[in-house]
Structures are given as C-alpha cells and as structure tokens.
Amino acid sequence: MARFLDLHPDNPQPRLLAQIVTALRDDQLIAYPTDSGYALGCRIGNRDGRDRILQIRGLDDRHHFTLMCKDFAQLGQFVQISNAAFRAIKAATPGPYTFILPGTPEVPRRLLHPKKKTVGVRIPDHRFVQSLLGELDEPLLTSTLILPGETEPRSQGWEIKEELDHQVDIVVEAGETLAEPTTVVDWSEGYPEVVRVGAGDLGRFDAA
C-alpha cells in the first residue's frame, strides 16, 4: 500500500520532505502535485521506476520523459540550448511549460527519445516541488499522471491513493492543484513547435 503524506502547500514540513527524499533515493515511485496537476516521479537512475511509469500510463518506449529541474542552471546541465531557445525558455520559467530539447551526455540513454535523442525539461512554479528538488539536489524523472483513456491529469491525492494504491509507493498531498497539463514546446529543430496545448501563454512562442 502507498503511504499518503499531507504537506503544507506553502511551508512543506522538513520532516516529511526528508521522508520523500529518502524514498526517492531508495528507488521508490511517488505521485505528487505540480503547478499543472499530478505527476509520477522517481530518480533519474531508477530503471524500475521508469518502467513502472510507462506501465501505469500505458505508454511505450517512445514516450518523451521529462526532467523536473529546480532552476535554469540545473536544466542547462541536461539539455543543449540554442541562443534563441535560451531567451524564450528563460523568460517562460518557472511555469507550466515542458520543453523538448537534445539531451546532453548527463542524460541516461534509456531516458532519451530513441530516434531524436531528446528529452523534456521543465521548471515548476510550485512551492512543494521546488522544496523537494532543493532537498533532492538532482532533477526528478517525471511524467504527467494522465491514466489510459483519460485526457487530463489527476488533481486529487485521495483519488490517486485509492486507484494506484499498489502501483506507487507514496502519494503526496500539498494543497489544491489544477487539472491542466503543461504546454509542450519542441525546440529540438531550432525553432518552437507547440506539440501539446495546455496551461500557460502560447503567444510567447509565436515570434521566438
């Protein structure tokens, strides 16, 4: 059974944050709230966690995983960014956007798109996730918690606990979260292509 941890949305309790970080370092899988609905998350090096995410979501190996990063400096360690992309992404973060870019050697091959060698990255505008990433001190391998047959991410921790009780190790509650996925922008060809319309302002990428 999954543990259910209820954290304060503005001042996450350090004791509970430490429990989540310990679980992640022990290669456990968490369901956690972000600024665009719930997501599944594990350590980058957690091979089993990656496979569990694909299984829960009903996806194959062509799925674009996302690295949830604390800040722009951390993001820049894992993807190659052109000057044009740098300015646009810097201006849009933190926020509800996922950017697809060529990965650097820091990204394990199994996390890259098999043909394009790309990976998603994003910087969340969410107090709990920022606190968690600060304690973890590395990006979180993540994927929006959209279950097979559904189009929107889950937004209620107790519902996730009931439905995925034996498929995840921890479900985190940290205040209200909107059930709207991120806008996904593919920058891998040197220009922005919006491949999923979601939260955020699309107009900022029109003239990028």
Strand pairing report for 3-6 and 170-173? parallel
- What tens digit of pLDDT does each residue of 115-124 get? 899 999 999 9
pLDDT band at 207 (very low <50, low <70, confident <90, very high): very low
**Tens digits of residue pLDDT in 30-89:** 999 999 899 999 999 999 999 999 999 998 877 889 999 999 999 999 999 998 899 889
**Predicted local confidence at residue 177, as pLDDT:** 83
The answer on pLDDT for 10 being more than 80 is: yes
Q: Find the angle CA(161)-CA(153)-CA(127) to the nearest 5 degrees.
A: 80
- For the chain, the average pLDDT equals 92
Confidence at residue 206, expressed as pLDDT on a 0 to 100 scale: 64
Q: Cβ(42)–Cβ(133) under 8 Å?
A: no
Give the C-alpha distances (Å, rounded to integers) separating 124 from 75, 110, 168, 186: 12, 24, 22, 17
173 three-class SS: strand
Q: Are 136 and 41 in contact (CB under 8 A)?
A: no
The SS3 assignment for 72 reads helix
CATH at residue 116? 3.90.870.10
Cα dist. 81→36, 57, 91, 174, 194 in Å?
A: 24, 29, 14, 32, 17
Helix axes of 127-136 and 14-25: crossing angle, nearest 10 degrees: 60
Buried-exposed string 36-70: b where 16+ CB fall within 10 A, e elsewhere: bbbbbbbbbebeebbebbbebbeeeeeebbbbbbb
> Could you tell me the pLDDT band of residue 208, with boundaries at 50, 70 and 90?
very low
pLDDT band, very low/low/confident/very high, at 179 (cuts 50, 70, 90): confident
Give the pairing of strands 30-34 and 37-43: antiparallel
Range of the domain at 112: 3-205
pLDDT tens for residues 112-147? Answer: 998 899 999 999 999 999 999 999 999 999 999 999
H or E stretch covering 73: helix 72-75
What are 115's two structure tokens? 């043909």
Number of domains composing the chain: 1
Chain centroid to CA 110: how far? 17
